[in-house]
């Protein structure tokens, strides 16, 4: 924070009140997030979210913010039509003083700001199964509300983000280059990936064949990207919309299961604590399908269980690739951090393979109601 002139940044947004202070906020791997405090006349402090967009990850922040602006405006309209509360149920961008969705500072860094959603928070792990049920409903609602939004109009903020086939190809390149001399220590993990190579192109092939519909998808639906209401436990708002772009509904469902059904932390070193909790899987599936089953196609419903495994596998590949490449994408906080993350994902994949028959039956149970 020492090299950030927050006064310069905040004066370029249409905030209300007098700027008091800023402090780091959240657990994100990519962007730098801060909470900024303001004081209005004769009132208590109130706060906004301020983020510095990682332009190394997101090569065109202006297109990214065009996506977010379009989607959140559309969501606000739909929520209002349904009698909901747009200021609470979707992100609301604070514009810059020149009316744009972002501010570009004198060092060419991109910033954005949102209204802070009070009375709700995110969780790194599931503390209450009902939270996951409500997170499933929130994501189902997110997809349903955006089902009429033209997916093709969105920019691709990260090329081939969930193209697991290409993720696998990049992984093989990292193995062959071995720039950090780490291949020797992860031979077991490398073999785990290679044994499942035939599965990486299943969903992309179905999309290319026209058997799965292109939709507006979040593409990064970790459990901690759903805000849970402090009083009701309901999932009120899907956040972190950087990767909203054209994709498959299966990506969103699968990534939610990947992150929400593991009772341990994503970087847990003790793999005996890592597994896919079928009760949590059922809770999420139940909530998601209560809202989403009517607009999903039979082919989408069929591949929901597989998508959970594939998205978990893909995430493991990405963590392992980053470890092999010198930890250039995900922020790390210790040596071998990305390797620990990869191992938790692969443990989840193996557990899902053992439980796939039960996973299929659960989807069938809630698809037919």
Question: Under a CB-based contact definition with an 8 Å cutoff, are residues 65 and 59 in contact?
Answer: no
Taking the C-alpha atoms of residue 188 and residue 192, their distance in angstroms, rounded to an integer, is: 6
pTM of the model: 0.90
Average pLDDT over residues 163-171: 97
Q: What is the Cα–Cα distance from 189 to 271, expressed in whole angstroms?
A: 14
Question: 37 to each of 22, 47, 49, 252, 365, how far by Cα in Å?
Answer: 6, 5, 9, 33, 47
Which pLDDT belongs to residue 82? Answer: 93
Residue 251 contacts residue 311 (beta carbons within 8 Å): yes
pLDDT class of 26 with cuts at 50, 70, 90: confident
CB 168 within 8 A of CB 320: no
Q: H or E stretch including 34? A: strand 32-39
What counts of helices (H) and strands (E) characterise the chain? 12, 10
**pLDDT one-digit tens code per residue, 67-92:** 999 999 999 999 999 999 999 999 99
More confident of the two residues 54 and 41: 54
Q: How far is 332 from 54, CA to CA, in rounded Å?
A: 15
Phi-psi region of 326 (alpha: psi -120 to 50; beta: other; left: phi over 0): left
The answer to whether residues 274 and 293 touch, using CB atoms and an 8 Å cutoff, is no
Query: What CATH number labels 6-116?
Result: 3.30.200.20
User: Would you say residue 1 has pLDDT above 70?
Assistant: no
> Cα dist. 172→100, 177, 184, 196 in Å?
41, 9, 14, 13
Query: Residue 299: enclosing H or E segment and its boundaries?
Result: helix 298-302
Q: What percent of the chain has pLDDT over 90?
A: 86
Burial zone of 57 (CB within 10 Å; 0-12 exposed, 13-18 middle, 19+ buried): middle
- 232-264, pLDDT tens digit by residue? 999 999 999 999 999 999 999 999 999 899 999
Do 141 and 287 touch, CB atoms closer than 8 A?
no
| pLDDT tens digits along 179-230 | 999 999 999 999 999 999 999 999 999 999 999 999 999 999 989 999 999 9
| Structural contact between residues 52 and 32, judged by C-beta atoms closer than 8 angstroms | yes
39's enclosing H/E stretch is strand 32-39
pLDDT band, very low/low/confident/very high, at 28 (cuts 50, 70, 90): confident
**How far is the C-alpha of 20 from the C-alpha of 36, rounded, in Å?**
8
Q: What angle do CA 90, 95, 97 make, to 5 degrees?
A: 165
Residue with tokens 């939004």: 149
d(CA 54, CA 60): 10
Could you tell me which CATH number the domain at 129-367 has? 3.90.1200.10
pLDDT digits (tens, 9 = 90+) for 311-361: 999 999 999 999 999 998 888 899 999 999 999 999 999 999 999 999 999
Domain segments of the chain: what residues?
Answer: 6-116, 129-367
Cβ neighbours around 322 below 10 Å, total = 21
The answer to whether 6-116 and 129-367 have equal CATH topology is no
Q: 301: how many CB neighbours lie within 10 A of its CB?
A: 20
**What whole-number distance in Å separates Cα of residue 147 and Cα of residue 298?**
16
């Amino acid at each position: 924070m020492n090299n950030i002139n927050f006064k310069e940044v905040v004066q370029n947004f249409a905030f209300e009140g007098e700027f008091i202070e800023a402090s780091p906020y959240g657990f994100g791997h990519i962007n730098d997030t801060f909470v900024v405090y303001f004081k209005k006349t004769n009132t208590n402090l109130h706060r906004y979210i301020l983020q510095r967009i990682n332009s190394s990850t997101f090569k065109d922040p202006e297109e990214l913010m065009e996506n977010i602006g379009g989607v959140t405006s559309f969501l606000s309209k739909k929520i209002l039509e349904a009698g909901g509360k747009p200021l609470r149920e979707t992100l609301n961008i604070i514009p810059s003083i020149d009316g744009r969705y972002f501010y570009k500072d004198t060092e060419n860094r991109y910033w954005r700001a949102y209204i802070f959603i009070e009375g709700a928070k995110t969780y790194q792990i599931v503390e209450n199964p009902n939270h996951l049920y409500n997170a499933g409903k929130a994501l189902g609602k997110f997809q349903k509300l955006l089902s009429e939004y033209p997916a093709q109009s969105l920019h691709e903020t990260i090329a081939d983000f969930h193209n697991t086939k290409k993720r696998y190809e990049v992984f093989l390149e990292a193995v062959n280059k071995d720039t950090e001399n780490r291949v020797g220590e992860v031979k077991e993990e490398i073999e785990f990936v290679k044994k499942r190579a035939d599965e990486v192109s299943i969903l992309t092939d179905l999309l290319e064949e026209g058997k799965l519909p292109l939709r507006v998808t979040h593409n990064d639906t970790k459990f901690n990207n759903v805000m849970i209401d402090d009083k009701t436990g309901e999932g009120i708002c899907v956040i972190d919309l950087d990767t909203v772009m054209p994709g498959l509904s299966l990506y969103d469902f699968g990534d939610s299961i990947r992150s929400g059904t593991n009772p341990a932390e994503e970087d847990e070193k003790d793999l005996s604590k890592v597994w896919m909790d079928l009760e949590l899987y059922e809770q999420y599936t139940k909530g998601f399908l209560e809202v989403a089953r009517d607009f999903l196609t039979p082919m989408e419903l069929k591949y929901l269980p597989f998508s959970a495994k594939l998205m978990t596998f893909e995430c493991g590949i990405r963590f392992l690739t980053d470890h092999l490449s010198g930890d250039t994408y995900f922020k790390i906080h210790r040596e071998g951090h990305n390797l620990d993350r990869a191992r938790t994902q692969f443990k989840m994949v193996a557990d899902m393979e053992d439980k796939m028959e039960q996973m299929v039956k659960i989807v069938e149970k809630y698809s037919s109601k």
